[in-house]
Amino acid sequence: MKNIKNPRKLFILDTSVLLYDKKSIHSFPGNDVLLPLVVLDELDRFKEKKGLVGENARFINRYLDNLRGQGNLHSGIEIENDQTIRVALNGFKKVPVGLDSSLADNQIISLALHLTQESKNQVVMVTKDINFRVKCDSLGIKSEDYMKDKVLLEGSEFYKGYIDLHVDDTNIIDDLYESGSTDDEAVIGTLCETAGRRFYENEFICLKNDQQSFLGRYSKGFIKKAMKMDDMDFGLVGVRDRNREQLYALNLLYDDSIPLVSITGLAGTGKTYLTLMAAVAGVYSGKYQRIVITRNVQPVGRDIGYLPGDLNDKMLPWLSPIMDNFRQGLKDKDLTYFNAMRQKGVIEVAPLAFMRGRTFKDTFLIMDESQNSTIHELKTVITRVGENSKIVLLGDVDQIDTPYIDSLSNGLTIVGEKFKNESIAGHVQLKKGERSYLSSIAAKII
């Protein structure tokens, strides 16, 4: 029986939505989905592209081809969840004055404008393209971002991975110092009441009063004292924390029971440096056999395919931060250690587009600039992680270069939020720049 109080809506999907999430076509239960014919033409141009975008284009094409066996796509085919899918063949020629009629986006706007004026049901244009939504709004067309993966923050801030609490009862801090940990429900309940919420898995807790402080980490019902640098053996790598948040990060990087770590922060906060030093220390100690470095390549100017040389040569411009940290952290001024480790396969560069089908065992996997990846791309990487491996996602959610994602919909933010209740994952937001005083000031005021 149809729901009279909530009449069906007509959702027009843009190509950007289908390429972002191949399952997006199923995300509108109880409503009608319309695919403009020009969108199918655009999908066809993406089907040969490497990586997730090409895979999504091929998936949609195969799915629609299978639907043909159930009926006519132009007339509409009913699928699960009381939803229909239809392909629009007409309505593309009345492009508003001022818009280029040869562009597919503007032809879709023509269709959306026509349906908005003629349809009895509400018409909604769904697109990841910000400018597309602005044009729709200017023409009186209701438009929305594809919201399925967007993070809904519990408060006004992103999850930081730590919390500071003022404690009036000094006995709590004294007892924690003496015992090193507690699973006392009354104590933890009191602290949660002070925090105004429960603690998340592997969340760091700084307890303070006028005289004392205690650094701990909540995990599996316990609050345990956080490790100091003297408790962590990084071997020949002389890495040291410069602030409390870096100590938190090193705790997560050192802990073998946490295979998924995400670290966010502004430029110069030490994300890459701490992670790389932990990776090198892990290889030296025998924990891992290799370090794999990957990233979603978002070029400025030229794409990776146009750069000269083989794959390693093409990735060199994006390896510069790694090489800089070798020079600084390992005093490897001429990159002797770095080049030797690459030649032996101990350090490997693996662009994101080449990740599918691989399995990484005994590996310390670093994904840099993760904020430029969608959650679907990060899922591809995380599900590649095998036994005795650790993956670390790094990035700054305020520096996103990828079209169609933002601070609430990028993969790094989503992983941090979705995994905060999982004991196998940990997250830390670094906030203090340590590169130089100039770097710290510039990051804040420019």
What are the strands of the beta sheet with 32-36, ordered from one edge? Answer: 77-79, 83-88, 32-36, 10-13, 123-126, 143-144
Between CA 95 and CA 98 the distance in angstroms is: 9
Between CA 45 and CA 57 the distance in angstroms is: 9
Which residue, chain included where needed, has tokens 């490497």?
Answer: 50
**Amino acid occupying residue 349:** V
Nearest residue to 199 via CA among 169, 174, 175, 220: 220
Between CA 237 and CA 279 the distance in angstroms is: 10
> 10 Å Cβ neighbour count for 201?
19
Q: DSSP string spanning 388-443?
A: T-EEEEEE-TT---STT--TTTSHHHHHHHHTTT-TTEEEEEE-S--S-HHHHHHH
> 10 Å Cβ neighbour count for 221?
12
Residues in the chain: 446
What the block records as the tokens of 233 is: 């053996």
Which residue, chain included where needed, has tokens 């020629």?
Answer: 93
pLDDT at residue 254 in the model: 96
- Three-class SS state of 117: helix
Between CA 68 and CA 40 the distance in angstroms is: 14
**With contact defined as beta carbons under 8 Å apart, do 369 and 295 qualify?**
yes
- Looking at CATH, the fold of the domain delimited by 252-445 is given as Rossmann fold (3.40.50)
pLDDT at residue 95 in the model: 94
pLDDT at residue 314 in the model: 65
pLDDT at residue 353 in the model: 74
Cα dihedral angle (334, 338, 341, 343), rounded to 10 degrees? -70
Query: Beta 10-13 vs 77-79: how paired, if at all?
Result: unpaired
pLDDT at residue 315 in the model: 66
Between CA 175 and CA 158 the distance in angstroms is: 31
- Looking at CATH, the fold of the domain delimited by 10-144 is given as Rossmann fold (3.40.50)
Region label for 270, one of left (φ > 0), alpha (ψ between -120 and 50) or beta (otherwise): left
Paired with 392 in beta bridges are: 261, 366
pLDDT at residue 155 in the model: 67
**With contact defined as beta carbons under 8 Å apart, do 406 and 20 qualify?**
no
- The CA distances from residue 435 to 76, 243, 272, 324, 440, in Å, are 58, 13, 12, 12, 7
**With contact defined as beta carbons under 8 Å apart, do 294 and 304 qualify?**
no
**Fold match, 10-144 / 252-445:** yes
Domain residue spans of the chain:
10-144, 152-226, 252-445
Q: Cα 63–56–399 angle (5° rounding)?
A: 150
**With contact defined as beta carbons under 8 Å apart, do 164 and 144 qualify?**
no
**With contact defined as beta carbons under 8 Å apart, do 392 and 365 qualify?**
yes
Please give the chain's pLDDT, 446 residues, in tens. Answer: 444 567 899 999 999 999 999 999 999 999 999 999 999 999 999 998 877 889 999 999 999 999 999 999 999 999 988 999 999 999 999 999 999 999 999 999 999 999 999 999 999 999 999 999 999 999 999 999 998 888 877 766 889 999 999 998 889 999 998 999 999 999 999 999 999 999 999 999 999 998 789 999 999 999 999 999 999 988 878 788 999 999 999 999 999 999 999 999 988 899 999 999 999 999 999 999 999 998 876 443 334 444 556 666 666 677 788 888 888 888 888 999 999 999 999 999 887 777 878 899 999 999 999 999 999 999 999 999 999 999 999 999 989 888 888 889 999 999 999 999 999 999 999 988 766 777 767 766 77
Cα dihedral angle (437, 440, 441, 446), rounded to 10 degrees? 140
- The CA distances from residue 333 to 140, 321, 323, 326, 349, in Å, are 60, 14, 9, 8, 21
